[in-house]
């Protein structure tokens, strides 16, 4: 069951602004629940009383209602509604020209909940910003997007893996083809949690399994797999399973050394030139983490608005004997005045402010030598084996 964050449904003024007939029709399947809470829906629910119910859902709240409210709230932003309007028009869902964003999301949910769920899943997937990248051993050309039977086989294999590690079953994989990439959202269980619930003066323990969402991206242009998940064991299983189910071998994505920070030492400020890449305006080095030679091992962090300007004054550049561990860049794009961040952590971690920046920024990284050429010795030696069964 999703957690209901503050939204139009927990604010009396915003609830009162919704079309009463639309709100009543949406809540009607749960009329008994609201009546038990002392909030009748006819002739029109009281906004203050309704908001109070949503602020304290309680264990008796229908799970489907909370999930619906969460999905509608997430889909009520202006950027989300624009995409929904186009999709609603394609599916013939009639919308009032004076409808507000929450009303648009409400009407679409009532007409086609699957549409809102799919858009919400895609938006949640794109919020993942930290990826580890694994290069492919062989280039067989891009695979076709997996069909229902292939996704079902992948889900079964992942289920076995997660069940053996106490995460339960019911894994679901959703695929979203995007230009030259295939994005996969994996919804799965996490380790159980035990908490104490209070009901008036009584306390009772309850046990539940949270849902976790991970993201895997296959880029057919660079022939690599990006994995956004917590834990080395889970990330390794994803690259093994997706390699097997997309290409037929579980060591397809064995390359673990993608990024290098050597250009910062070798080329200095010239490594930040961006004018050859259309869409990029300027790039600054804003932070470095490095290990400096010392009798006592020392890990240092430097931060500045323009770190190369500081280093030119203090050290004459980045000393060649520094071992660079991570670098943060401030990247200004031609279509936006405010810079966004990119942090590289060799050998294979990139953290973006916005994942949509990745394709453009990687052109610059490749041009300046921050992306290492794929070599045979970059690959871990693994034994080809069938998925767990």
Residue 382 located in a structural domain: no
Given a cut of 90, whether residue 65 has pLDDT beyond it is no
Confidence bin at 11 (pLDDT 50/70/90): low
| Average pLDDT of the residues in 303-308 | 92
Domain endpoint, select from 90, 107, 125: 125
121 and 14 assigned to the same domain: yes
Residue 377 inside a domain? The answer is no
Q: Is 120:71 a contact under the CB 8 Å cutoff?
A: yes
Query: How high does pLDDT run on average in the chain?
Result: 81
Q: Is the model's pTM score more than 0.75?
A: no
Judgement on whether residues 116 and 48 belong to the same structural domain of the protein = yes
Q: Are residues 13 and 40 in the same domain?
A: yes
* pLDDT for position 124: 59
**Could you tell me which residues come within 8 angstroms of residue 192 by beta carbon, excluding any fewer than 6 positions away?**
166, 207, 208, 209
Residues 285-304: pLDDT tens digits? 999 999 887 766 678 899 99
pLDDT tens sequence across 71-126? 777 777 766 777 788 888 888 888 888 888 888 888 888 888 888 877 776 665 55
**% of the chain residues with pLDDT over 70:** 84
Domain stops at, among 125, 148, 165: 125
Residue 381 lies in a domain: no
The answer to whether residue 6 scores a pLDDT higher than 80 is no
- 8 A C-beta contact, residue 259 and residue 326: no
Give yes or no: residues 145 and 168 share one domain: yes
Q: 313 and 207 share a domain?
A: no
Highest mean pLDDT among 16-20, 87-91, 287-291, 371-375: 287-291
- Residue 388's pLDDT band (cuts 50, 70, 90): very low
Does residue 327 belong to any structural domain of this protein?
Answer: yes
Asked whether residue 110 falls in the same domain as residue 55, the answer is yes
Q: What is the pLDDT of residues 351-366, one digit of tens each?
A: 887 766 777 898 999 9
| pLDDT tens figures, 229-285 | 888 889 899 989 999 998 888 888 876 678 899 999 999 999 999 989 999 999 999
Strand partners, 135: 224, 255
If asked whether residues 224 and 279 sit together in one domain, one would say no
pLDDT at position 200 is 66
Is residue 373 domain-resident? no
Q: Which residues fall within 8 angstroms of residue 211, CB to CB, at 6 or more apart? A: 187, 188, 189, 190
Q: Does the pLDDT at position 384 exceed 60?
A: no
Buried b (16+ CB within 10 A) or exposed e, 175-204: bbeeeebbbbbbbbbeeeeeeeeeeeeeee
Q: In terms of residue numbers, what domain contains 271?
A: 262-367
Q: Quick check: 370 pLDDT over 70?
A: yes
Are 282 and 240 in a shared domain?
Answer: no
Do both 145 and 243 map to the same domain? yes
What does the pLDDT read at residue 267? 93
Give the model's pLDDT for residue 17: 76
Q: List, in order, residues 6 or more apart from 116 with CB less than 8 Å away.
A: 71, 72, 75, 84, 105, 108, 109
Residue 309 lies in a domain: yes
- Residue 143: burial class (beta carbons within 10 Å; 0-12, 13-18, 19+): middle
pLDDT of residue 283: 95
pLDDT higher than 60, residue 128:
no
| Same domain (yes/no): 302, 242 | no
The confidence score (pLDDT) of residue 382 equals 39
* Bigger pLDDT: 199 vs 262: 262
Neighbours of 326 (CB within 10 A): 17
At 339, the pLDDT band (50, 70, 90 cuts) reads very high
The pLDDT of 332-347, averaged and rounded, is: 89
Q: Kindly state whether residues 240 and 173 are assigned to the same domain.
A: yes
Give domain status of residue 359, yes or no: yes
- Per residue in 148-177, pLDDT (tens digit) is 899 999 999 999 999 998 999 999 998 888
User: Which of 216, 247, 278 is the last residue before a domain boundary?
Assistant: 247
**Better-scored residue on pLDDT, 5 or 269:** 269
DSSP bridge partners of 188? 212
How many domains does the chain contain in total?
A: 3
Indicate whether 174 and 282 sit together in one domain: no
Q: Confirm whether 376 is domain-assigned.
A: no
């Amino acid at each position: 069951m999703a957690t209901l964050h503050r939204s139009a449904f927990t604010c009396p003024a915003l609830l009162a602004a919704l079309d009463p007939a639309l709100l009543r029709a949406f809540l009607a399947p749960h009329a008994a629940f609201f009546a038990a809470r002392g909030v009748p829906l006819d002739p029109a629910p009281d906004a203050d009383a309704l908001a109070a119910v949503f602020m304290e859902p309680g264990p008796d709240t229908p799970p489907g209602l909370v999930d619906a409210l969460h999905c509608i709230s997430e889909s009520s932003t202006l950027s989300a509604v624009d995409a929904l309007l186009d999709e609603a028009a394609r599916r013939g869902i009639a919308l009032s020209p004076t409808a507000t964003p929450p009303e648009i999301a409400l009407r679409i949910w009532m007409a086609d909940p699957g549409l809102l769920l799919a858009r919400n899943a895609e938006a949640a997937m794109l919020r993942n910003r930290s990826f580890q990248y694994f290069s492919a051993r062989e280039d067989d050309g891009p695979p076709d997007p997996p069909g229902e039977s292939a996704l079902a086989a992948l889900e079964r294999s992942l289920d076995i893996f997660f069940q053996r590690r106490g995460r339960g079953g019911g894994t679901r994989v959703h695929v979203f083809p995007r230009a030259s990439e295939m994005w996969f959202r994996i919804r799965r269980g996490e380790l159980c949690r035990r908490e104490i619930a209070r009901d008036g003066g009584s306390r009772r323990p309850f046990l539940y399994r949270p849902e976790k969402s991970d993201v895997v991206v296959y880029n057919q242009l660079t022939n690599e797999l990006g994995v956004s998940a917590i834990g080395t064991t889970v990330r390794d299983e994803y690259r093994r399973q997706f390699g097997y189910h997309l290409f037929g071998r579980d060591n397809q994505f064995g390359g673990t050394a993608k990024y290098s920070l050597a250009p910062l030492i070798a080329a200095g400020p010239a490594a930040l030139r961006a004018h050859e890449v259309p869409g990029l305006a300027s790039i600054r080095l804003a932070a470095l983490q490095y290990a400096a030679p010392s009798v006592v091992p020392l890990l240092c962090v430097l931060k500045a608005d323009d770190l190369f300007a500081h280093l030119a004054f203090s050290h004459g550049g980045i000393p060649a004997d520094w071992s660079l561990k991570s670098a943060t860049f401030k990247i200004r794009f031609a279509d936006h005045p405010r810079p966004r961040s990119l942090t590289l952590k060799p050998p294979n971690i990139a953290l973006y402010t916005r994942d949509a920046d990745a394709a453009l920024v990687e052109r610059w990284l490749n041009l300046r030598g921050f992306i290492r050429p794929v070599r045979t010795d970059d690959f871990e030696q693994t034994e080809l084996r069938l998925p767990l069964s």
